[in-house]
Amino acid sequence: MTRYQHLATLLAERIEQGLYRSGERLPSVRNLSSEHGVSISTVQQAYHILEDRQLISPQPRSGYFVTPQKSQPPVPALTRPAQRPVEITQWDAVLEQLTGREDSGSIAFGSGFPDVTQATIKPLWREMSRIVQHQEPEILGYDCINGKQVLREQIARLMLDSGCVVTPDDIVVTTGCHEALSIAIRAVCEAGDIVAVESPCFHGTMQMLRAFGIKVVEIPTDSETGISVEALELALEQWPIKAVILVPTCNNPLGFIMPDARKKAVLNLAQRFDIAIIEDDVYGELAYEYPRPMTIKSLDVDGRVLLCSSFSKTLAPGLRVGWIVPGRYFDRAMHMKYIVTGSSTTFTQMAVAEFVRNGHYHRHLRRMRQHYQRNLDVFTCWVRHYFPCGICVSRPQGGFLMWIELPEHIDIVPISDTLRQHNIRIAVGSLLSASGKYRNCMRLNYALPFNAETETALRNMGEVIGHIFENG
């Protein structure tokens, strides 16, 4: 953290603690410079950060003042889905959401797209350019089913950070995490089976289950600690569940990191009822805490955890480089990989492997963690400032997605239609439920740049929602 970032954090904490009260004038730039032994430009940069976060505001010839703040909105309560096997719906709405990617004129708050504009990604461009310029013949050929050895070696080293000790031969490279999840589901389930999922749950996973003819039991989930172990145990006692699908680290969409004790408890249940765990760790490397949290896979002693991940959220989704560590289901996973795609793209595997091997990946991760954490602070302030009172907002511990819950009588689906007329696209909460729950919720991507255009879009969103509050 730089000096000005450290100073901004210190001042923000003082404001949050009430040491600088709402409307109070802050110390002058010169006084803060003298007090903290930093340059005037450092203080000015710190004040600019606080101004971006709308914690302070300048007044001509008077200095900076603490901006009057609404109280911090509460976090969403424990979700309460229908705890019985259901068939998945929502495909038409999900398809409409996905086709919206083609609308370049819209602000895509509903996407799961990372920020791919940071300077730390430039070495990847150089590596791709070098491979093309050398016209290496292997980039035009078929690869092995399980992916390039050099990439699997780098992935195995990366997984040590999450507590996993695996060999390159334990890993199967996939075309993104989406394919990894698809392989995992088909490796352990058949049509007519039942799986348990967190609620809300990533809509891509839901639609895979729908396509494979698998029913879902949605399990109550806490926005800060994850899936309810008690509710999961009850469901396992009631239904012949084959697997549980989890995003325990930097969850999509709630942003929580499941405590280690709860991860162990879920694994114990899986062992007791002899089911598989499909662990989606695609956001795991973006945890704001360091070192990054351990995976459930790192606790696995009998190969029942299938870990799925990719570089789609940490680097770029267009690379289509992911992987699965399928444990005891390895042979089945290899067969599924063969019948779906055969081999993955060689070119991007080679480029990513060199990017990681040369140390660029860890530098990029450090940059993105700081960037997303700062964005979270700014977007949370904007939501608190522009949205009406009575909402609940998740407090993500990593990644770049937040969950906003409105009162139950508010239907965001027609609000979403109105927002599209303002070139604003959101992800309605019902997309992330098997039965179409959470129509009063939305998922928001805060990887978008915090510029005037983004702020204006959030202000417009808040005004539309506020109008519904007043007249609904």
**Distance between CA atoms of residues 343 and 173, nearest Å:** 9
Tell me, yes or no, whether 434 and 323 share the same domain: no
Q: Single out the residue of 116, 108, 121 nearest to residue 446, CA to CA.
A: 108
Q: State the total domains in the chain.
A: 3
Provide the token pair at 455.
Answer: 């702020």
What's the pLDDT score for residue 91? 79
Same domain, residue pair 50 and 180 = no
Name the one residue in this structure whose structure tokens are 């007043």. 470
My answer on whether 112 and 127 are in the same domain is no
71 located within any domain: no
Distance of CA 56 to the CA centre of its chain: 29
32 band by pLDDT with thresholds 50, 70 and 90: very high
111 and 136 together in one domain: no
Q: Look over the chain and give the mean of its residue pLDDT values, rounded to a whole number.
A: 92
Do 342 and 378 have their domain in common? no
Give a yes or no: residue 72 inside a domain: no
Expressed in percent and rounded to 5, the helix, strand and coil fractions of the chain are 45, 15, 35
Contacts of 129 (CB under 8 A, 6+ apart): none
Mean pLDDT of 40-59: 89
Most confident of 5-19, 236-250, 417-431: 236-250
Is residue 53 domain-resident? yes
Give the pLDDT confidence score for residue 141 in this predicted structure.
Answer: 86
Domain check: are 25 and 55 in the same one? yes
Same-domain check for residues 370 and 302: no
User: Which CATH number fits the domain that encloses residue 222?
Assistant: 3.40.640.10
> Can you give the residue range of the structural domain that contains 407?
90-117+363-471
pLDDT of residue 432: 94
pLDDT category at 471 given cuts 50, 70, 90 is confident
pLDDT at 1: 65
Q: Which long-range contacts (CB under 8 A, 24 or more apart) does 466-470 make?
A: 466/387, 466/388, 468/410, 468/415, 469/388, 469/390, 469/410
pLDDT bracket for residue 92 (50, 70, 90)? confident
pLDDT value of position 472:
62
Within a domain: 291: yes
Percentage of the chain lying above the pLDDT 70 cut: 98
Please check whether residue 294 lies inside any domain of the structure: yes
Determine the Cα–Cα distance for residues 397 and 222; give it in Å rounded to an integer.
Answer: 13
pLDDT bin (cut points 50, 70, 90) of residue 102 is low
Q: How far is the C-alpha of 135 from the C-alpha of 119, rounded, in Å?
A: 26
Domain end, chosen from 23, 51, 66, is at: 66
Lowest mean pLDDT among 10-19, 76-85, 161-170, 403-412: 10-19
Amino acid sitting at position 72: Q
400, 448 contact by CB (below 8 A): no
pLDDT tens track for 354-406: 999 999 999 999 999 999 998 998 899 889 889 998 999 999 999 999 999 99
Identify whether residues 52 and 113 lie together within a single domain.
Answer: no
**Quick one: 380 and 355 in the same domain?**
no
d(CA 281, CA 333) in angstroms, rounded, equals 17
60 pLDDT exceeds 90?
no
d(CA 381, CA 376): 8
* Same domain? 413 vs 463: yes
How much is the pLDDT for 70? 66
Query: What is the model's pLDDT at position 273?
Result: 98
Residue 340: its pLDDT value, please? 87
Residue 83 lies in a domain: no
pLDDT exceeds 90 at position 138: no
Same-domain pairing of 193 and 48: no
Lowest mean pLDDT across 59-73, 108-122, 165-179, 339-353: 59-73
Q: Per-residue pLDDT tens for 233-268?
A: 999 999 999 999 999 999 999 999 999 999 999 999
Kindly state the tokens that stand for 102: 């083609």
For residue 274, the model assigns a pLDDT of 98
> Domain containing 23 — which CATH number?
1.10.10.10
Is the pTM for the entire model greater than 0.85?
Answer: yes
The answer to whether position 74 is within a domain reads no
* Residue 80 belongs to a domain: no
- pLDDT at position 175: 96
Query: Given a cut of 70, is residue 101 above it in pLDDT?
Result: no
pLDDT of 276 over the 90 cut: yes
Reading the block at residue 254, the tokens are 């709630």
Average of per-residue pLDDT across 195-205: 96
> Do 261 and 390 lie in a common domain?
no
Please give the structure tokens belonging to residue 74: 């509460």
Of 150 and 141, more confident: 150
3-state class of 219 per DSSP?
strand
